[in-house]
Structures are given as structure tokens and as C-alpha cells.
């Protein structure tokens, strides 16, 4: 097994149990990525199991954490832990009292009243906790953007950070992707003028918001973004183009060989930051779902170019169909997310 000596910081991240608490998807995913990266830095052969509540049945945790002949390091991620069944919660509570060596359990919990007993038990057991709160205040989002620039080792003026928040909005994934793109493309200090050239006043920015929410399966938010875009004068054809790009990106990456973002970027003709974003969006998609979504985009494109009586209805129908297709894997296994 390829092992490395653990630093103090790595050992902290690899505490037996980590609880990531909150409802901000980007921060929850980063909490998981941090643990997985630390585990693979310590042991490149680390086995990662990423489970939803329906996949963690009574007895499953015991199977996953039972001693292995090969003494392999393992990371077990449980998403939406507040939705676990009562019997499975008993299993998790029992495990918290005697966690297995070489295994890191990561529980993602919304932090609300549902499943609070499990959250309390994890805290009582001394679990490492990562806060992932929903950022609803503009000041919080502004602080997040500043932190992103610092995390990437770059400087940006206060005016640039504010302009980015004003242009992109409240979605942390979009804000993080925008910061990454600016850092990759621009040398020196990033100022308001640079942000303005990239984002301010661009109709396609709102079009891509519609597409991103749709391919992530967030129908209500996609429809809200669609109606806002149309009300501000965005051409329907720009929205169908963004939807097509979003679905095609899912299809391209899902059929590509695994590899580093830089390698996939060269192979697929996408920037590395786009690879990372699409990987996050791919969860829940199936090949059949991609085919259904592409047909929906084609129908919408025909509808907005004169093939239908109501371009707005054509777009709404496409958005709903794509959002449903994004959840096709969950639907097939009976996941009622």
C-alpha cells in the first residue's frame, strides 16, 4: 500500500468521524473533498464509499467498517444523514462509540430539527465538525468571494469582489467558478473593470444560470431564473443555446475516460474549471436521461424559432424535462429526493 506520513493537519482532517452541518451544497461537497484528499495523501489506495440514505440500510455500516485482511484505509460518506431510517441511526450511534481504525466516517447533515438526535450523538462523541451554512446575506457572499481569492493565492479589490457578487448573484458554485476563471485568465490584481468585462451586463450569464439550475435538477430555481431572464429581455435563442451546452457537457464528461481536470479539458475542449463544475452537476444523470434532455432542447429550439405558438412555454417545458432527467438515476432506484 502506498502510504505517507500524516501531518498534524492531515490527522485532524482524518478524525474518525466528521460531521458537515448545513445546507450549502458547495461547502458540503468541499468538506467531503477535503477528507478524501487527506485520506488519499496518506494512502493512495483509499477506498471511498459515497452513500445516500436509501443505500445505507441497517447492517450496511457494520459491513463497510468491518476489519479488512488488507487493512485498507476507507472513507465512508453518508449524505443527508438526517433522512436515515431509525434502525440505521441506531447503527450509526453504536458505531460512534467505537469507530474503526483506518476508517473515516463523514456525515452530511442539514442541521435542522430532523435527525437532531444523530447530530447530538456525533457531537457528544467528539466528532470533528465543519460548518456549511446557507449564505443568505450579501455580506456573507462577499466574504466568501474574498476568501476564494485568498484561497487561490490572488488579490482582488473590494470593488471587484462586490461587482462579482452583484453580477453573479447568490449561487456559491457560480461565484466560486467565476473566481477560478478570473484567476486563471487574468494576471495581477483583479479589479472592477476586469469583472465588468467578464460578467456585467452579459445576457448569456443569466442564460447559463437557467441551464445550470436545470441540469442540477433544481426545476423551481431554473424556472425562476428563466422567467427573470425573459422579463429582462434575454433572447429565447440564447437560453436554448445555454441549455444545449449544459446538457452536452454532461453527456461529454459522462462518456469520457477518467482523469485529471487538465487532461479532460484538453480532450473535451473545456477549461479545467468547467470540468470541475460539470462533475458536480453530473450526479443523478443517466445516458437515457441525457438523451431525453437533448430531445427536449431540440424541441425547445424549434419552438423558439417559429415552430411553436409560445416560445416561453416551449422553454418552460424544456427546463422541467431537463430537471427531471437530471434526477433519472434517483428515480430509477426509488430515491425521492
Q: For 2-39, give one letter per residue: b (16+ CB within 10 A) or e.
A: eeeebeeeeeebbbbbbbbbbebbbbbbbbbeebbebb
122-126, 237-241, 257-261, range with the lowest pLDDT: 257-261
pLDDT at site 261: 63
Q: Give Rg (Cα) of the chain.
A: 22
What's the pLDDT score for residue 11?
Answer: 58
Share of the chain above pLDDT 70, in %: 85
Backbone conformation region of residue 58, classed left if phi is above 0, alpha if psi is from -120 to 50, else beta: beta
Over range 101-130, report the average pLDDT.
95
Torsion of the alpha carbons at 17, 21, 26 and 29, rounded to the nearest 10: 20
Task: List beta partners, residue 106.
Answer: 18, 77
Spatial distance between the Cα atoms of 10 and 35, rounded to a whole number of angstroms: 9
Check residues 193 and 114 and name the one with the higher pLDDT: 114
The rounded distance, in Å, linking the Cα atoms of 13 and 320 is 39
For residue 228 the three cell numbers come to 427573470
Q: Where do runs of H (alpha helix) occur along 43-171? A: 60-64, 86-97, 116-124, 138-151, 158-168
Model confidence band, residue 327 (pLDDT cutoffs 50, 70, 90)? confident
Top pLDDT among 9 and 57 is at: 57
How far is CA 102 from its chain centroid? 27
pLDDT for 144 beyond 90: yes
Residue 116 has pLDDT above 90, yes or no: yes
Q: Whole-angstrom Cα distance, residue 97 to residue 315?
A: 52
pLDDT at 235: 79
The sign of the torsion formed by the CA atoms of 39, 44, 46, 52 equals positive
- Whole-number pLDDT of residue 282: 85
Minimal CA–CA distance to 11: which of 55, 57, 42, 40?
A: 42
Dihedral in degrees, nearest 10, Cα atoms 60, 64, 69, 72: 170
Q: What is the pLDDT of residues 287-325, one digit of tens each?
A: 999 999 999 999 999 988 876 678 899 999 999 999 999
Looking up cell 485568498, which residue turns up?
150
Please say if the pLDDT value at position 2 is more than 50. Answer: no
Beta bridge partners of 223: none
- pLDDT tens profile 181-234: 899 989 999 998 888 777 755 545 568 888 989 999 999 989 988 988 887 677
Predicted local distance difference test score (pLDDT) of residue 273: 66
Tell me the whole-structure pTM to 2 decimals: 0.59
Give the per-residue pLDDT at 205: 56
Where are the extended beta strands (E) located within the chain?
A: 17-22, 47-51, 74-78, 103-109, 128-132
Q: Residue 235: name the closest of 304, 145, 285, 286 by CA.
A: 304
- The highest-confidence range among 82-91, 232-241, 266-275, by mean pLDDT, is 82-91
Pick the residue with more confidence: 274 or 252?
A: 252
For 286, counting Cβ atoms within 10 Å of its Cβ (0-12 exposed, 13-18 middle, 19+ buried), the class is: middle
Distances (CA, A) of 252 to 201, 277, 280: 29, 13, 14
Look at residue 200 in the predicted model and tell me its pLDDT: 58
- Taken in order of first residue, the domains within the chain and their CATH numbers are 17-132 (3.40.50.300), 138-199 (1.10.8), 207-332 (1.20.272.10)
Q: 47 forms bridges with which residues in the sheet?
A: 74
For residue 156, the 8-state DSSP code is B
| 278 vs 274, more confident | 278
| 321: helix, strand or coil | helix
- pLDDT top residue among 251 and 124: 124
Mean pLDDT (the chain, rounded): 85
CB 201 within 8 A of CB 173: no
φ/ψ region of 126 (left if φ > 0, alpha if ψ in -120 to 50, else beta) reads: left
Pick from 88-102, 163-177, 298-312 the range whose average pLDDT is largest: 88-102
Cα-based distances in Å from 187 to 149, 179, 181, 190, 275: 13, 13, 11, 8, 22
Who wins on pLDDT, 307 or 86? Answer: 86
pLDDT band at residue 332 under the 50/70/90 scheme:
very low
Amino acid at each position: 500500500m502506498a502510504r505517507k506520513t500524516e501531518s498534524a493537519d492531515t490527522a485532524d482532517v482524518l478524525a474518525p468521524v466528521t460531521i458537515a452541518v448545513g445546507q450549502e451544497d458547495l461547502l458540503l461537497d468541499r468538506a467531503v473533498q477535503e477528507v478524501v484528499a487527506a485520506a488519499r495523501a496518506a494512502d493512495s489506495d483509499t477506498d471511498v464509499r459515497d452513500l445516500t440514505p436509501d443505500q445505507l440500510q441497517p447492517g450496511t455500516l457494520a459491513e463497510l467498517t468491518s476489519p479488512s485482511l488488507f487493512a485498507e484505509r476507507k472513507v465512508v460518506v453518508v449524505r443527508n444523514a438526517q433522512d436515515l431510517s431509525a434502525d440505521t441511526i441506531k447503527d450509526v450511534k453504536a458505531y460512534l462509540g467505537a469507530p474503526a481504525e483506518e476508517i473515516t466516517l463523514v456525515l452530511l447533515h442539514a442541521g435542522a430539527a430532523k435527525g437532531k438526535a444523530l447530530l447530538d450523538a456525533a457531537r457528544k462523541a467528539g466528532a470533528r465538525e465543519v460548518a456549511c451554512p446557507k449564505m443568505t446575506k450579501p455580506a456573507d457572499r462577499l466574504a466568501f468571494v474574498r476568501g476564494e481569492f485568498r484561497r487561490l493565492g490572488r488579490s482582488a479589490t473590494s470593488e471587484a469582489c462586490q461587482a462579482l457578487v452583484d453580477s453573479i448573484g447568490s449561487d456559491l458554485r457560480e461565484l466560486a467558478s467565476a473566481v477560478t476563471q478570473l484567476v486563471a485568465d487574468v494576471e495581477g490584481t483583479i479589479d472592477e473593470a476586469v469583472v465588468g468585462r467578464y460578467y456585467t451586463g452579459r445576457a448569456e450569464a443569466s442564460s447559463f444560470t437557467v441551464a445550470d439550475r436545470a441540469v442540477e435538477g433544481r426545476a423551481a430555481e431554473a424556472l425562476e431564473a428563466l422567467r427573470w431572464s425573459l422579463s429582462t429581455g434575454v433572447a429565447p435563442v440564447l437560453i436554448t443555446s445555454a441549455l444545449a451546452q449544459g446538457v452536452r457537457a454532461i453527456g461529454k464528461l459522462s462518456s469520457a475516460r477518467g482523469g485529471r481536470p487538465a487532461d479532460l479539458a484538453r480532450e473535451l475542449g473545456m477549461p479545467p474549471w468547467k470540468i470541475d463544475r460539470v462533475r458536480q452537476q453530473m450526479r443523478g444523470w443517466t445516458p437515457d436521461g441525457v438523451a431525453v434532455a437533448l430531445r427536449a432542447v431540440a424541441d425547445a429550439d424549434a419552438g423558439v424559432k417559429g415552430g411553436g405558438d409560445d416560445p416561453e412555454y416551449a422553454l418552460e417545458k424544456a427546463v422541467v424535462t431537463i430537471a427531471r432527467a437530471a434526477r433519472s438515476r434517483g428515480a430509477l432506484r426509488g430515491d425521492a429526493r
